[in-house]
Structure 1
Amino acid sequence: MVFHSLFIIAMALSLDAFGVALCIGLNNSVKTKDRVLFAGSFGFFQFLFSILGAYTGFLFNRYIASVPSIIGGALIAIVGIMMLKEGFENKDECPVIKPGMVIILGISVSIDAMVIGFTTLHNVGNKFVILNDTIFIGAVTLVVASIAFFIAKYLKRIEIVSKYADYIGGIILVIFGIKMMFF
């Protein structure tokens, strides 16, 4: 695959992780360790799902292409609802920091990478090229999610953003999840 095409695909795939990372980063209870775990999870699962999709794409291309968006969208919307609920309860505990959420969110923002593997990457044919392409997709996602956390650090200094971060992040995730499921 031509580099600029691969880069565009990697950037498009990483936008889900960017949005989720931005929402998570706005929460004051999220620590640096958690940001690193989330960014790493997003990058790892983008790599894993794109390589799985590439190697199994010829079998599943016709039957699973529409299901991943629905599952990923539902998971992201559920996390958004949890963030809204947390904002209403006004606790100091962040729902996305609970055990297992790093994996759940990593999977939910990366399911579309499997579709790309099904439809695009499996056509390459060479195992080493597929491995390089999928590693590149994971690395781009890691960098983009890290940038989102960096941006969120400065956005939450704005008083109104910091005060209503759970509501803003929750609403964004619910809308994003609905968009993934139906559009």
Structure 2
Amino acid sequence: MGIFAILLLAVSLAIDCFTVSVTSGIILRRIRWNTFLTMAFFFGFFQALMPLLGWLGASHFSHLIEAYDHWVAFGLLAFLGIRMIREHFKDSEEHSFDPTRLKVIITLAIATSIDALAVGISFAFTGFRELQSLLLPLVAIGLASFILSLAGSLIGIFFGKRFNLRMELFGGLVLIGIGVKILCEHLLG
């Protein structure tokens, strides 16, 4: 796999992280570096970890992983999306969906990285025979996810302030949409 293909793969895997980060930035409405860096770190970490796990498990468990990975991603994203939509209809004092909570960040990071697990499985069948050969793709995937997540959070802040958006409804629909996209790609593809 060439460097250009690796970069394209890394960016395409990071798009879901970017989208979720934009939504979180819009919800938060102000810069919270600790939250944004934590989110970017976990998004990058899980996006890099999942292909490694997929690659390691491909020879033993690929048939099991491929059968359920899309359902797991859909379930996690739908659950979080529904929670966000419910938050939209609550008074501002009653809000409990909080993208600053570590539990929420980790759940989002895992849910958005399920596709990367499938990529890792494909690595095992496309010539990546040694762990050393995976180093460049894993670093590229992790860095792209980190950078796009951080950029997405800042872009979300800009749009949230500029247009005074309350985006829980939109964000919830986006998360559910990402889950449906993952589900459809695996069921129809």
Is 2:148 aligned against 1:144? yes
Contact 2:85 2:168 in 1 (8 A): yes
Contact 1:76 1:105 in 2 (8 A): yes
Letter in 1 for 2:138: T
Indicate the residue corresponding to 1:75 in structure 2. 76
Distance 1:141 1:99 in 2: 18
Indicate the residue corresponding to 2:109 in structure 1. 106
Distance 1:48 1:41 in 2: 10
Instruction: Give the C-alpha shift of residue 121 in structure 1.
Output: 4.9
Instruction: Give the C-alpha shift of residue 10 in structure 1.
Output: 0.9
Indicate the residue corresponding to 2:178 in structure 1. 176
TM-score by length of 1: 0.88
Distance 1:164 1:102 in 2: 19
Instruction: Give the C-alpha shift of residue 152 in structure 1.
Output: 0.9
**Runs of 4+ displaced beyond 4 Å:** none
Distance 1:63 1:84 in 2: 32
Structure 1 vs Structure 2 CA RMSD: 1.9
Indicate the residue corresponding to 2:6 in structure 1. 6
State the percentage of identical aligned residues: 23
Is 2:119 aligned against 1:116? yes
Change (3 A) 1:118 1:49: same
Gaps of 5+ in 2: none
Change (3 A) 1:38 1:121: farther
Indicate the residue corresponding to 1:64 in structure 2. 65
Distance 2:178 2:84 in 1: 14
Letter in 1 for 2:68: V
Alignment coverage as a number of residue pairs: 181
Contact 1:46 1:141 in 2 (8 A): yes
Distance 1:42 1:182 in 2: 23
Write the deviation string for residues 3-60 of structure 1: whole angstroms up to 9, x where unpaired. Answer: 1111111111111111111111110367332111111110000111111112222223
TM-score by length of 2: 0.86
Distance 2:22 2:153 in 1: 6
**Equivalent residues in 2 for 1:24-43, closer than 5 Å:** 24-28=24-28, 31-43=32-44
Letter in 1 for 2:137: D
Indicate the residue corresponding to 1:15 in structure 2. 15
SS at match of 2:38: helix
Letter in 2 for 1:171: L
Contact 1:74 1:181 in 2 (8 A): no
